[in-house]
Amino acid sequence: MAVGAGPPRTKRQRGTPWRFDSGRVCLDLVATAPGPDTPGGPGEPLAGADRLARWLIGAGLVPAATRLTGLGAEWVDGFVELRRCVTQLVGAALDGDAPGPAAEPVLATVNALAGEPPPGIRAVRDVDGTLVRALCAAPGLDALLAAVARDAVELLTDPVARGRLRRCEGDGCDRVYLDTSRGRRRRWCSSEVCGNRERVARHRRRTTAPSGGRP
């Protein structure tokens, strides 16, 4: 199938409910797990070729109009399995723990996927002459999984990056993000989403508090 046009990478891709504000593509994949703030309602949010294709474009793994051949249930299963593995390893890193013996199969899966070659890239001229990124060939499932798995390996083996892992403090949100803010005081996965919700809730509590009472 050929995926349609879309921006290279944004916090929220127009026309889709996906968000890309974690700071790393592997964490963006973790954020697609079923939950109250993920698309698709009950069930697997990535299920369906159209949903996965939109996520691949929004995450910056696939430039717009790239032809994806064979995208189907096997691709969804592959990304769901990688998500499960990365989620477990990131959870251990958040707790300050090294993956124990029980995590060896998970670590082996991520390492095996990361060992595959990622999609080859090249620079081509857009219609207005601007250089834009394109893939050397239509990417297969293994190549795209490799790109995400490599990002996970780089994150988990970088002590500085690991130390910046945070879990969102927003009500009902458990997204993981990389805190690159000044002073490392970022509290939410997204100031525009979870941060705004807390500000609205705080304002509502103040305005509805009894006269003379504390908010």
Q: What is the pLDDT, as a whole number, of residue 67?
A: 82
| Residue predicted with more confidence, 99 or 23 | 23
Q: What is the pLDDT of residue 192?
A: 58
pLDDT value for 2: 33
pLDDT tens digit string along 9-65?
Answer: 334 433 446 889 899 999 999 999 986 554 545 589 999 888 999 999 999 999 987
Please tell me the least confidently modeled range out of 56-60, 120-124, 195-199.
Answer: 195-199
C-alpha span between 137 and 66 (Å, rounded):
9
The string of DSSP codes covering the chain is -B-----SS-SB-TTS--B--SSSHHHHHHTTSSSTTSTTSSS-TT-SHHHHHHHHHHTTSS-TT-B-TT-SHHHHHHHHHHHHHHHHHHHHHHTT----GGGHHHHHHHHHHHTSPPPPEEEEE-TTS-EEEEESS---HHHHHHHHHHHHHHHHT-HHHHTTEEE--STT---EEE--SGGG---SS-IIIIIHHHHHHHHHHHHHSPTTS--
Amino acid letter, 212: G
Please choose, from the candidates 85, 138, 73, the residue with its C-alpha nearest in 3D space to the C-alpha of residue 111: 85
Mean pLDDT of 181-195: 69
pLDDT in tens, 130-183: 999 999 999 999 999 999 999 999 999 999 999 999 998 877 788 899 998 877
Structure tokens at 190: 């997204």
